[in-house]
């Protein structure tokens, strides 16, 4: 039997990373770079790294087919100066050490997919596509742009690079859907703020399928909007979520209330009040087909 190609996932112990492990482990030998001590479980090798400096983990990059980097402190926090520094450094440091390591390899990974975000896009009348370069100001935008700048530094002639501008990934047992469906069942699933802010989203199954598609589609590189073609306003999103869960009503969360409660819930209000509005032009132009293009279908599957 031929040996499986190797896939290395940095920061692969989170919600999306765990889904990718289970999605790909049939076809790939999976190595996960983690801050935990090294161990093996269910045919997956977990290898210690600190996300900052080179170590023995670099040996697993040599000859790997795919490298995916999902490292970074969770965005679900208050934007204190200390947290901002951790949010930025956890993304920049891990990206830099992986890019620098690839430059030293004889047989580097053929494909390198790095997490990013669509938070840099200015809010336009139409959804943003990858060629749009009108960016908004603010911490989230500046962080996303710095993250991608680090990722695309220098030449990696043997490695194709893709920056995944990830939207809201909807899946069970974690992530944003898990939070939203719980509060909706307690009748707290009304619109947030004005309810007009746009929400770009993607079903987790399609997100994993899109990763597989990008790995196999050799002519696609650069930034990739990771969402469906149907962003929804917050008001419409929450209404459809309530319908999928058979919840007739949800109390709204006004902006002033969120700002007052931000110290209690320990989350930055702007994460809920500011919209992201983008669609995956490069992905769909390359031939990718969604299983869950419509939000009602995605929510029905998850409910």
User: What residue ranges do the domains of the chain occupy?
Assistant: 6-168+202-229+278-291
- Per DSSP (E only), the strands in 87-167 are 111-117, 160-166
Phi, psi for residue 11 in degrees, rounded to 5: 70, 40
What average pLDDT does the segment 169-183 reach?
87
pLDDT the model gives residue 18? 95
Helix (H, G, I), strand (E, B) or coil at 115: strand
Residues 6+ apart with CB under 8 A from 296: 240, 243, 244
* pLDDT tens, position by position, 88-134: 999 999 999 999 999 999 999 999 999 999 999 998 889 999 999 99
pLDDT band, residue 272 (cuts 50/70/90)? low
pLDDT exceeding 90 applies to what percent of the chain?
78
Q: Are 228 and 236 in contact (CB under 8 A)?
A: no
Compute the average pLDDT of residues 220-239: 96
pLDDT at 271: 61
What is the rounded distance in angstroms from the CA atom of residue 3 to the CA atom of residue 9? 18
pLDDT band at 261 (very low <50, low <70, confident <90, very high): low
Q: How confident is the model at residue 3 (pLDDT cuts 50, 70, 90)?
A: confident
pLDDT confidence of 188, banded at 50, 70, 90? Answer: confident
Query: How much is the pLDDT for 254?
Result: 66
Question: Which overall architecture, per CATH, does domain 6-168+202-229+278-291 show?
Answer: 3-Layer(aba) Sandwich (3.40)
Q: What is the mean pLDDT of the chain?
A: 91
| 1: pLDDT strictly greater than 50 | no
Residue 230: pLDDT band by 50, 70, 90 thresholds?
Answer: very high
CB 27 within 8 A of CB 15: no
Q: What is the mean pLDDT of residues 278-283?
A: 97
pLDDT at 257 over 60: no
HSE, side-chain direction, 13 A CA sphere, residue 236: 13
* 203 half-sphere exposure, CB direction, 13 A CA radius: 19
pLDDT of residue 274: 74
Tell me how far apart the alpha carbons of residues 21 and 4 are, in angstroms, rounded to a whole number: 14
Map residue 272 onto helix, strand or coil.
helix
Nearest residue to 273 (alpha-carbon basis) of 292, 252, 288 = 252
Q: What is the pLDDT of residues 134-166, one digit of tens each?
A: 999 999 999 999 999 999 999 999 999 999 999
The set of residues, in sequence order, having a beta carbon less than 8 Å from that of 216 and lying 6+ positions away, is none
Distance CA 288, CA 265 (A): 38
Look at 58-67, 160-169, 264-273, 281-290 and tell me which has the smallest mean pLDDT: 264-273
């Amino acid at each position: 039997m031929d040996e499986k190609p190797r896939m290395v996932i940095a920061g692969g112990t989170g919600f999306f990373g765990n889904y990718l492990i289970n999605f790909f482990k049939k076809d790939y030998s999976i190595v996960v770079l983690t801050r935990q001590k090294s161990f093996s479980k269910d045919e997956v090798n977990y290898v210690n790294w600190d996300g900052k400096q080179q170590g023995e983990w670099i040996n697993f990059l040599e000859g790997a087919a795919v490298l995916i980097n999902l490292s970074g402190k969770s965005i679900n926090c208050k934007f204190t100066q200390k947290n901002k520094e951790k949010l930025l450094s956890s993304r920049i440091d891990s990206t830099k050490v992986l890019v620098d390591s690839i430059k030293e390899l004889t047989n580097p990974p053929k494909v390198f997919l790095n997490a990013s975000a669509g938070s840099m896009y200015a809010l336009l009348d139409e959804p943003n596509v990858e060629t749009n370069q009108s960016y908004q100001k603010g911490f989230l935008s500046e962080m996303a742009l710095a993250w991608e700048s680090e990722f695309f530094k220098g030449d990696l002639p043997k490695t194709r690079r893709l920056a995944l501008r990830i939207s809201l990934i909807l899946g069970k047992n974690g992530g944003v859907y898990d939070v939203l469906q719980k509060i909706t069942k307690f009748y707290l699933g009304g619109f947030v703020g004005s309810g007009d802010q746009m929400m770009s989203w993607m079903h987790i199954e399609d997100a994993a399928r899109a990763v597989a598609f990008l790995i196999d589609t050799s002519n696609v590189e650069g930034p990739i909007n990771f969402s469906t073609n149907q962003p929804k306003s917050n008001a419409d999103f929450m209404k459809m979520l309530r319908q999928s869960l058979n919840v007739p009503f949800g109390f709204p969360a006004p902006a002033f209330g969120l700002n007052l409660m931000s110290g209690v819930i320990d989350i930055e209000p702007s994460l809920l009040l500011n919209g992201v509005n983008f669609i995956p032009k490069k992905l769909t132009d390359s031939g990718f087909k969604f299983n869950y293009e419509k939000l009602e279908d995605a929510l029905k599957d998850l409910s």
